[in-house]
Structures are given as structure tokens and as C-alpha cells.
A and B are shown apart, each in its own frame.
Chain A
Amino acid sequence: MAKVKSGEIFKDISKQITESQVWTSTFRHGYADTPRNRVLQIASNVWLHLHPVKMHRHALRIKFTWCMGGITFLLFLSTIVTGVILMFYYRPVGEYAYYDMKYLQYDVPFGMLMRNMHRWAAHAMVITVWLHMFRVFLTGSYKPPREFNWVIGVFLVTFTLLLSFTGYLLPWDQLAMWAVTVGTNMARATPFLGHEGPFAEYVGVTPRYDARSVLIGGSLVGPPALLRFYVLHCIFIPLVAGGLMIVHFWRIRKDGGISGPL
């Protein structure tokens, strides 16, 4: 009680938080507000200097990195460019989506090329992101001080898969419908939040109000699901993934460049 009254308890709690591993690997040291640090804030800004000022010679060896991270980012950029071009024709409405997709393929000049580039870049991105993760694992680059960046990378893998999954519904054909029906059925079994999952009876979720219905905007994969997946696919997930990529690249530099050969 004395602790509460004197405010000591806040100090104790903040100490517990700031000394945890999650906190210390996120914020390595305090910020000293000096003129030098203010200049460095600008000079080492990730928007101005994506690449480090100096690099290790071994960082250029293709045999070590396979260029997989860079290739993944390049593929991400190509899906953005081709995806924005596809948005000029595609309407995420039940009546139009399938025909817009066919229109793009057969009647829009270079439409087939754009759609296939988008599709194949997305497939390739999933493959290269796994290979990148495989390389990082084999070279032990997930170890401290890079453990924070590994966690960011795990989030990025997840968002890459979510981008693929949400994009899968957009052609609005039988394959998409049923793949997403089966895929979103998994959300029924989410612990606490899915109506068929463990502990659902304590939370009181129903088929009408649970993790699955929020994802597809109803109780079956219909036009609301198409619109929701479209917004997630084109806006929400790319923004989050893009933000995480910025942190991911910046963190490489902060952790002393890419890891050296063992």
C-alpha cells in the first residue's frame, strides 16, 4: 500500500518492463538529446540512406547471401507496380470481379502480361522469402544481436503468406471461392475468438460474431468477403509489410551489417 501511495509501484513496473529482453532488444540504449545525435537522426535516416555507408567485403559474396532478401524485395516491388496497374480495371464486386479478371486477360492490351507478372511474382516471392529465411538460419544470422531482426522477419513471412492468401480470392472463380472457404474455416478454431475453438464458450463468441465472420464479413464467402479481402490485400497488409520492411532493412545496418561467414 505504501508502495502504491508513494508511486514506487510505477517505478517497479517500469523497471520490470524496461529490463525485459523484448524491451532491451527493441530499444538498445536511451536517447541522449545532443546536437550530434540530432544531426545523426537526419544523416542516418532510413529514407535518405537505405544502404549503409560502408559494407563488408564478404557482404558482396553471392555464395553467402544468395541475394534472397534483395530478390524478395524486388519481387514485392513488382507486385506493387503490376498490382496498381491491375487496379485500373478490377472491381471488387461480386457481379464484376470475375469478368474484370477475364477482361484484363483477353481484351486489355498487356492485361494478360500484367496479371501473370503479378501472379508469378507473388508465387516467386513466397519461395524466395522461405529461401532467405533458410539462408539466415543456416548462417546463424538469427543469433544476437540480430534476434530482433529475425522476429521482424518472421512477421514479414506471415504477412507475405497473408498477401498471397487474400490475393487468392480476387479472381472470384470456383478455385478461389472454395480455397478461401476452406482456408477461412480454420479461423473457426481460433482459441477464444473462433466459435468452434477452445474456450469459445467462456468468451461467448457465436458463428455470427467471431474471428471468421470478421474476416469474411458474414457467415459465408460472398461479396462482402471479396471486398474485405480486396482492402486487406491492396491497402492494409502492404502498408504493414512495407513498414516492417523499412525496420527490417534499417535494423541490418544497426546490427553491424549482414553477418560474416562462420
Chain B
Amino acid sequence: MAQAKAVSKATPAGKAGSKDKKEEQVDTLWSRRDFFSYAGWASFLGAVGLSSLYFTRLLFPRVLFEPSPIFKAGNPMDYTVGEVSTKWVNDQRVWIVRDDEGIYAIFALCTHLGCTPRWLRSENKYKCPCHGSGFTREGMHFEGPAPRPLERLKIALAPDGQLIIDKSKKFLYEKGQWGDPGSKFLI
């Protein structure tokens, strides 16, 4: 480019020639050579981009071989008012709490770093052994580093009269979801 300019300045003939050339090109965005060059790069980048997308999708399998998040927790009458049932903690990591109004399920996973807290009946609280977070019977955090209350899980009555709990659907207190339908089974 710079060379062409230098030449055009030196000789008037060159100047006229370059002017003609410019007029010729005025309606052309790209020359044919440029067009094929851009088309080549575009198809290369398109192929790379698309295969990256395919690879990203490949990393999310359609089927997971994991335990089902849904389980049946027996008859509602198995749970006595004012008790925290630890029956399902070992198998399902869930506490089932019965109060005057109904039954709700609390996920036994500390909201600090994911350890399993213990229900201490005599102290009426859940206590995490890892960093000492404490939660009330309802799941509210009141001591230790846990930043938010325990999570509640979806609870409903199955057609066969058993409680059915879905661990994939969570109800968070800080989002105001503890009163949502499905967060508590009212009796």
C-alpha cells in the first residue's frame, strides 16, 4: 500500500492509473481474492465453532446412572407431632419434621460447605460437625458459619397413601419459598 502511494506520487502516469483503479473498485467491497480468503476463514472458524458446540453438548449425557431423587417415606401417621424423624438420614439424607400443621422434609446438607449435620434432640438443634454451624428445628441458621437456612424438599402424598419426597425440587427460605405449594404437606 505504502509502496503504491510512493510510486503514484513520483509519476503522474502512476497517479492517473491508480485513480482509474480506485474508480473501478468503488462499488466493490471485497475483491474476488479477498472474498475467497474470507470465505475460507469463515468456514474454518465456523467448523471449529460448531465442533466446540458439539463437544460441549457431548459433555452433558442424556441419561445419568444415579440414584433416583424421589423416594417414598411411609405413612404420614408414622410421624408424631413435635418430633424430628432421623429415619431417612442414612439412606436419603433427609429429616422429616412433623408439627401441628403438617409435615415437611429438610435436606440434611449443611449450607456452609455441604457436610451432614446431626440432629441433637436434647439441644433441639441440628449441629454440623465440620465447622459448628447450628440450625433450629425449623432449619433456621443461628450459629456458626452457615450463611443461610437449611433447604426444604418437595413433599406430597402419593396415590397409595405414602409420603413422596422429591429431592430435586428445593424450597429456599431466602427466596421466600417455604410457604410455596409442595414445601409442606398439610394435615
The reply to whether A219 and B60 contact each other, CB–CB distance below 8 Å, is no
Say yes or no: A182 contacts B30, CB within 8 Å.
no
Q: How large is the interface on A (under 10, 10 to 19, 20 to 34, 35 or more residues)?
A: 10 to 19
Nearest to A188 among chain B residues (CB) is: B114
CA distance A182 to B60 in the complex (A): 21
**Are B64 and A219 closer than 8 Å at their CB atoms?**
yes
Q: How far is the CB of A221 from chain B (nearest CB, A)?
A: 10
Contact A181 B114 (CB under 8 A): yes
Q: A182-B113, A214-B59 are in contact. Are A7 and B64 (CB under 8 A)?
A: no
Contacts of A207 in B (CB 8 A): 168
Contact B60 A185 (CB under 8 A): no
Instruction: Give the chain A neighbours of B30 by CB distance below 8 A.
Output: 7
**Do the beta carbons of A209 and B114 come within 8 Å of each other?**
no
Verify A214–B114 contact, CB threshold 8 A.
no
Contact B29 A217 (CB under 8 A): no
From the candidates B59, B113, B168, name the one contacting A217 in the complex (CB within 8 A): B59
Nearest Cβ in chain B — how far from A143, in angstroms? 34
Query: Does B160 count as interface, using CB distance less than 8 angstroms?
Result: no
Instruction: Give B97-124 interface residues, CB cut-off 8 Å to A.
Output: 113-115
Could you list 14 further interchain pairs (A-B, Cβ under 8 angstroms) beyond the known A5-B29, A214-B60, A224-B65?
Answer: A6-B29, A7-B30, A178-B115, A209-B60, A213-B60, A214-B56, A217-B59, A218-B66, A219-B64, A220-B66, A222-B65, A222-B66, A224-B61, A224-B64
Residues of A within 8 A of B113 (CB): 182, 185
A223 neighbours in B (Cβ, 8 Å):
65
Residue of B nearest to A181 (CB): B114
Contact partners of A213 in chain B: CB under 8 A: 60
Count of inter-chain pairs, beta carbons less than 8 A: 30
A45 to B184, CA, bound (A): 69
Report how far A222 CA is from B64 CA in the complex, Å: 10
The proximity string for A residues 74-87 relative to B, scoring 1 for CB distances below 8 Å and 0 otherwise, is: 00000000000000
| Residues from 1 to 60 in B contacting A, C-beta threshold 8 Å | 29-30, 56, 59-60
A222: B residues at CB distance < 8 A: 65-66
Q: Are A217 and B66 touching (Cβ within 8 A)? A: no
With the chains together, A209 CA to B61 CA distance in Å? 10
Q: What is the bound-complex CA distance between A182 and B59, given in angstroms?
A: 21
Instruction: Give the 6 A-B residue pairs with the shortest CB-CB distance, closest first.
Output: A218-B64, A182-B113, A214-B59, A185-B114, A182-B114, A7-B29
The distance from the CB of A252 to the nearest CB of chain B, in whole angstroms, is 31
Q: Which residue of A178, A185, A217 is within 8 Å of B61 (Cβ)?
A: A217
What residues of chain A lie closer than 8 Å to B115, measured between beta carbons? Answer: 178
Contacts of A217 in B (CB 8 A): 59, 61
User: Which residues in A have their C-beta under 8 angstroms from that of B64?
Assistant: 218-219, 224
